[in-house]
Structure 1
Amino acid sequence: MFIITLRFADTRAPQFMEGHNAWIRRGFDDGVFLLVGSLQPNAGGAILAHNASSDEIEARVRDDPFVAEGVVSAEIVAVTPGRTDSRLAFLNA
């Protein structure tokens, strides 16, 4: 499982928002993204991802137009779940 943070580094986000939203949709459609949300206050975004290797996650993040255009700086943190609520047991696989 991975926690990805995308912190704004530039004010050009509106210019690339359509492509960024399409990238998010692909992440959900591919079964990789579990959750996407905003960092508060207006600091960027965060993504909970799974079902992919570290290399695949890195490549996917590089494909985000926000990352490619320098609108955000990305950080990827790999997490190995130790304990989960039963509703999230699938993350232990």
Structure 2
Amino acid sequence: MFVVLVRYVRPLEEIDALLEEHREFLRRHLASGTFLGAGRREPRTGGVILARGEDEGALREILKEDPFHREGAAEYDLIRFVPTLTAPELEASFR
């Protein structure tokens, strides 16, 4: 599993112009099960994505599809995360 920290590197006006296309990218990968959740950071400097999988290279390839990446509007930090304890209602999601 990965925690993906998205950091905006362009003005919010440019981010907003790409936002709906970015959300479609997120929805597609949420539906496939690759992403478990996504949301913006506060203050609004980027976002966070929870992603399944163990292959960092494969995840980086997926992130290249993000319009934020395509337009050079964001940078990504990937943090490998191995959950050892979870709330019972989340256990199946973290396998």
| TM-score category of the 2 structures, normalised to the smaller one | 0.7 to 0.9
Which position in structure 1 is the counterpart of 2:66?
A: 64
1-side partners of 2:31 and 2:54: how far apart?
A: 13
- State the partner residue of 1:86: 88
Per-residue deviation at 1:51? Answer: 4.3
The CA deviation at 1:67 is: 1.3
Is residue 40–residue 48 contact of structure 2 (8 Å, CA) maintained in 1?
A: yes
Please give the residue correspondences for 1:24-63 in structure 2 after superposition, counting only pairs within 5 Å. Answer: 24-51=26-53, 53-63=55-65
- Map of 1:14 onto structure 2: 16
Residue 4, structure 1, aligned to residue 7, structure 2: no
- Contact 2:7 2:74 (C-alpha < 8 Å) held by counterparts: yes
Distance in 2 of aligned mates of 1:46 and 1:65: 15
RMSD between aligned residues: 1.4
Indicate the percent of aligned positions where both proteins have the same amino acid: 27
More divergent stretch after superposition (82-91 vs 68-77): 82-91
The residue that corresponds to 1:23 in the other structure is: 25
> How many residues are treated as equivalent by the alignment?
92
Counterpart of 2:81, as a letter, is V
TM-score by length of 2: 0.86
TM-score by length of 1: 0.87
- Flag structure 2 segments of 5+ consecutive residues without an equivalent: none
2:2–2:53 contact (8 Å) kept in structure 1? no
Q: CA deviation at 1:50?
A: 0.9
